[in-house]
Amino acid sequence: MAFSLFMIMGMVALIPSIHSTTALAIAMAVWGITQAALFLVSHVRLMKTAPETPAFGASLNISGANLGIGLGAIVGGHVIDNFGLGSLGYAASGFIGLSILLALVLMRGPLSEATQV
């Protein structure tokens, strides 16, 4: 959850800091570091959930990442066309907010109890 919140901060700070090289570098660094960390965290969690099929789990993780890239490009293009470039960070942050809600729901559901064993 912490990495997700840092990623939201980086995305929201990106556009307002575009005129300052230092602020832009900091926002990009926060975004990039948290993106890499989130991918690794999801990969480790997936490997722990299905240790008997690591190759299949890894392929699912990569497929999910590629799906996210594709959907992000589609939605991002729509946001830029309709609301302007300045809204892109807020739209991306909305997706992360939805993913946080989904994670909270899944952690409370019956599947979470099965993976805790």
8 Å CB contact between 12 and 2: no
Q: What's the pLDDT score for residue 81? A: 95
- Distance from C-alpha of 88 to C-alpha of 40, rounded to nearest angstrom: 24
Residue type, 21: T
117 pLDDT more than 70: no
Higher pLDDT, 1 or 105: 105
Residues counted in the chain:
117
Q: What's the pLDDT score for residue 112? A: 52
91: Cβ contacts below 8 Å, ≥ 6 apart? 75, 76, 79, 83
What's the whole-model pTM score?
0.66
The string of pLDDT tens digits covering residues 34-73 is 988 888 888 888 888 888 988 888 888 889 889 988 998 9
The string of pLDDT tens digits covering residues 74-109 is 999 999 999 998 888 889 888 888 988 988 898 887
Rg (CA), the chain: 16
Q: What's the pLDDT score for residue 41? A: 86
